[in-house]
Amino acid sequence: MNNLEFLYRQIIMDHYKNPRNKGLKGYNHVHLHNPSCGDDVIVEAKVENDVIQEINHTGSGCAICCSSTSVMSEVLAGKTTQQALDTIQDFYHLVKGEPVQNEEALGDALVYQGVSQFPARYKCAVLAWKALEQLLKGEQDE
C-alpha cells in the first residue's frame, strides 16, 4: 500500500460517504472551523454520570475531517470523560506519528496513522477531536 492508499483507507472513505451519528439532537456542543480550508464541524455530546452516552455531529469538509468526526463519534461513546480525554491525546500523538499509550482504546481511529505522512492534513484529522476535547473540558458554544 502506498502512502496515499494508506491515507484514504476503505474504512475512512466508508465513514466519509456514510457518516455515523450525523445530525444534532440539542446537547451541549462546540463549533470549530478551519478558515484556511473551510472544514467546519459541530460536535455535541450527552454526558451522564461522567460517562459519554452519545456523540453527534454535523458539518462539512474534506474526507479526512468528515470521516474522522464520524469515527470519533463511535470510538469515544461509552467512555468516561477521563478515558475519552486520554484517547483524544493519544489520537493527536497517532496522527503526528508519535507513540501512543493505549492503542486498543483508539479502535478504528488507528486507521488515521497514515496522516502522520501528511503533516499538511493534521488539522483536518484533529478538528472534531479538538471540539470534543473543549466540550469535555467544560467549554460550549451558544
Partner 1 sequence: MLDVEKIKRDIPLFQNYPNLIYLDSCATTLKPRYVLDKMDEYYQEYGVNIHRGVYELSYRATEEYDKARKKIAKFINASFEEVIFTRGTTNSLNMIAQTYGMANINLNDEIITSELEHHSSLLPWMQVAKKKGAILKYIPLNDEGRITVENFKKVLTDKTKVVAITYVSNTMGYLTPIREIIELAHKQGAVVIVDAAQAAPHFKIDVCELDCDFLAFSAHKMLGPTGIGILYGKKSLLDKMDPEEYGGDMNNDVFHDNVIVKETPYKFEAGTPAIAEAIGLGAAIDLLEKIGFDNIRQHEKELHKYALEKLSSVSGITIYNKTADIGIINFNIDGVHPHDASTFFDQANIALRAGHHCAQLVTKWLKCNGTLRACLYIYNSKQDIDIFVKTVQEVVEFFRQFSEV
Minimum gap (Å) between residue 103 Cβ and partner 1: 25
Among 6, 8, 92, 122, binds partner 1 (CB under 8 A): 8
User: If binding is defined by CB under 8 A, does position 124 make contact with partner 1?
Assistant: yes
For the record, the C-alpha cell of 69 comes out as 468526526
User: If binding is defined by CB under 8 A, does position 57 make contact with partner 1?
Assistant: no
User: If binding is defined by CB under 8 A, does position 97 make contact with partner 1?
Assistant: no
User: If binding is defined by CB under 8 A, does position 14 make contact with partner 1?
Assistant: yes
Q: Where are the alpha helices (DSSP H) in the chain?
A: 3-7, 10-17, 63-75, 81-96, 103-106, 122-136
Among 58, 63, 80, 134, binds partner 1 (CB under 8 A): 63
Q: How far apart are CA 142 and CA 140, in angstroms?
A: 7
